[in-house]
């Protein structure tokens, strides 16, 4: 039996699409992961063999200021509670992390062995959660995603679709390099890990190739036949108060090798996602 926490979020809904009635799905009102007693009570009710943590505080802008405390409470204390409760019932814990744990100073892809060093509060909370996972979890895996997208929830593909269909012109950055994670592929990789019988691992899971948001806008403009004018700008000129890694390309070759998952190019992933929207 699988148990998904944070089931109402984007990734929770993608897990529901793939796992159907093989899992129990808990929203924040069924199981608030910041409340250890509630987590333990939920686990003792359902006795899951695998717990999938889709719960997180994900508003990067608000995490920087007014919501910093709640961000750390959910993303760090929540993971601590899940780890403690999983260990008590010998359950495997799947946790999702992010490319934002890196500082963006590298110029070639980040592997699972690279040093972390988040540069914004959301990233720092996720970095600390990885440490908690490393220290406390007996059985499980961290999957690091980057610009996660699907037909559900809020995500970058939906945002760009909206901008490209509603705006006359947009500015997009050419020199910030990232990879993107198709949530369907992430779920498949998680299931492959669970079936592999491996004990404790960390995986990057993203597209096989890198892109800038300018590349994304141009690709989506072609698919959507949008008339929006796309202006290229540099990272240094993008008006944002929040530091984001300038280079956060993830190397997902470990997952491809060990879990036998086929990595997609971001172009293949975007095209697949837009068909489902």
Ligand X SMILES: NC(=O)c1ccc[n+]([C@@H]2O[C@H](COP(=O)([O-])OP(=O)(O)OC[C@H]3O[C@@H](n4cnc5c(N)ncnc54)[C@H](OP(=O)(O)O)[C@@H]3O)[C@@H](O)[C@H]2O)c1
Interface with ligand X by CB under 6 A: which residues?
5-6, 8-11, 28, 32-34, 54-58, 74, 78, 96, 98, 126, 145-148, 153, 155
Between residues 146 and 264, which has the closer beta carbon with respect to ligand X? 146
Compute the distance between CA of residue 176 and CA of residue 222 in angstroms, rounded to an integer: 21
Q: Which residue is nearest to ligand X (CB)?
A: 9
Is-contact 99 144, C-beta < 8 A?
Answer: yes
Q: Which is nearer to ligand X, 45 or 231 (CB)?
A: 45
Q: How far is the CB of 209 from ligand X (least distance, A)?
A: 17
Largest CA distance in the chain: 56
CB of 229 to ligand X, least distance (A): 26
Spatial contact of 176 and 212, defined as CB atoms under 8 Å apart: yes
Residue in 25, 122, 147, 247 annotated catalytic: 122
Angstrom distance (rounded) from CA 55 to CA 47 = 19
58: Cβ contacts below 8 Å, ≥ 6 apart:
9, 122
Min dist. Cβ of residue 133 to ligand X (A): 12
Least separation in angstroms between CB 147 and ligand X: 5
Residue 100 bears catalytic tag: no
Nearer CB in complex with ligand X: 148/187: 148
Helix (DSSP H) and strand (DSSP E) numbers for the chain: 11, 10
Of 197 and 208, CB closest to ligand X: 208
Do the beta carbons of residue 228 and residue 172 sit within 8 Å?
no
Residues involved in catalysis: 122
């Amino acid at each position: 039996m699988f148990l998904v926490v944070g089931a109402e979020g984007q990734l929770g809904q993608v897990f529901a699409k793939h796992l159907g009635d093989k899992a129990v799905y808990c929203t924040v009102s069924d199981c608030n992961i910041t409340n250890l007693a509630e987590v333990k009570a939920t686990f003792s009710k359902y006795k899951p063999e695998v717990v999938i943590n889709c719960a997180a505080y994900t508003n990067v802008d608000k995490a920087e200021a007014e919501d910093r405390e709640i961000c750390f409470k959910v993303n760090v204390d929540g993971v601590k509670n899940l780890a403690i409760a999983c260990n008590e019932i010998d359950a495997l814990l799947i946790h999702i992390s992010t490319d934002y744990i890196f500082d963006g100073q590298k110029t070639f892809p980040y592997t699972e062995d690279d040093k972390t060093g988040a540069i914004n509060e959301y990233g720092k909370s996720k970095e600390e959660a990885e440490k908690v996972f490393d220290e406390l979890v007996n059985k499980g895996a961290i999957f690091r995603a980057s610009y996660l997208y699907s037909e559900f929830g809020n995500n970058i593909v939906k945002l760009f679709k909206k901008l490209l269909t509603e705006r006359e012109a947009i500015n997009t950055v050419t020199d910030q390099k990232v990879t993107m994670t198709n949530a369907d592929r992430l779920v498949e990789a998680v299931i492959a890990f669970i079936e592999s019988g491996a004990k404790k691992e960390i995986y990057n899971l993203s597209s096989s190739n890198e892109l800038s948001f300018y590349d994304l806008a141009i690709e989506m403009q072609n698919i959507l036949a949008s008339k929006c004018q796309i202006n290229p700008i540099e990272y240094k000129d993008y008006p944002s108060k929040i530091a984001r890694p300038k280079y956060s390309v993830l190397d997902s070759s470990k997952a491809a090798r060990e879990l036998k998952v086929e990595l997609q190019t971001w172009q293949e992933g975007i095209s697949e996602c837009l068909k489902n929207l």
